[in-house]
Amino acid sequence: MNQRTFLSRRCGHTLVELIIALALGLVVTTGAISLYRSQRTAFGRADDAIRIRDAGLTALTLIGQQVQMAGFVPVDAPQAQPRPTLFGCSAARPTGADESPACEALSGRSDGIAIRYVGDNVSTWTSATGQSTDCLGQAVSTVNASTGAGGVLIVNRFYAKPSGSTGEPELYCDGNGKAGSAQPMVEGIERLRIRYWLAGAQTALDASALGATQWANVVAVDLCVLVRGAPQGRRSRYVDCDGASVMGTDLRAREAFWRRVAIRNNEGNVS
């Protein structure tokens, strides 16, 4: 075997080994990229699910705490409670004067609720000046004639709608510390669904089914929030606030959360 043949064979083996090494490297790299993408997708969906759950539970907690306060009057205030202590709207938000609320339709079909109670330095967080506050932490200083010196009338209104700046759905609260100053509280709340239990009733009713004199007989409220997540690249099925299985029309995940809240201060609960 001459030197040229020997070198040719050595070069031939080196080329084959290089091709094999490149092929193996390509397989490993492709697998690593595929694994990274799948892990990243799984992590993104898990993170989105956590954010959806946090938003839903936070919204239910905020609204539920306020619903429980409906009709509350401190012991040192006159026992005459302002009316209505509770008022709701179907697919609309409460508007108008605190003493005579009305409803304004919402495009997202979210229900709205207005909650009234007498606030003092125990039933609400106090401001820096020691005043009772609404749902936004705004000081409420006007003493209503029916509350006397024992507190001030707190009126908080909750509903969900898309943000005017980002377009993302949010839970809003409009407190009477500063009229017309509604602010978002929880991002991702696409719809608020509320039904009401009257004393002795066999089923919960929508707000539109209640007459003006029936709000004082509401003994419990069923709350549901539908939360929308971030885009995930695929359509998904979810159960909405009416209990129906729905296929999403976009590439976002959704989940509904429910809570029943007893109202302790309404006439229907007073024996």
Q: Which of 181, 117, 192 lies closest to 155 in space, CA to CA? A: 117
Per-residue pLDDT in tens (0 to 9) along the chain, 271 residues:
555 554 455 555 677 777 877 888 788 887 777 776 766 666 667 888 999 999 999 999 999 999 999 998 887 776 555 667 899 999 999 998 887 889 999 998 999 999 999 988 778 888 888 889 999 999 998 665 454 455 788 999 999 999 988 899 999 999 999 878 899 999 999 999 999 999 989 999 999 999 988 998 999 999 999 999 988 878 889 999 999 999 988 999 999 999 999 998 875 554 4
Would you say 102 and 93 are in contact if contact means Cβ atoms under 8 Å apart? no
Q: 0.85 cut: is pTM over it?
A: no
16 to 4, 37, 177, 181: CA distances (angstroms): 19, 32, 80, 74
Angle at 260 between CA 258 and CA 263, to 5 degrees: 150
Would you say 110 and 86 are in contact if contact means Cβ atoms under 8 Å apart? no
* Preceding amide of 84 cis, omega within 30: yes
- If you compute the radius of gyration of the chain from its CA atoms, what whole number of angstroms results? 29
Please list, in sequence order, all residues whose beta carbon lies within 8 angstroms of the beta carbon of residue 225, skipping any fewer than 6 positions away.
55, 56, 59, 60, 63, 160, 171, 189, 191, 192, 193, 241, 256, 257
- Extents of the domains making up the chain: 41-269
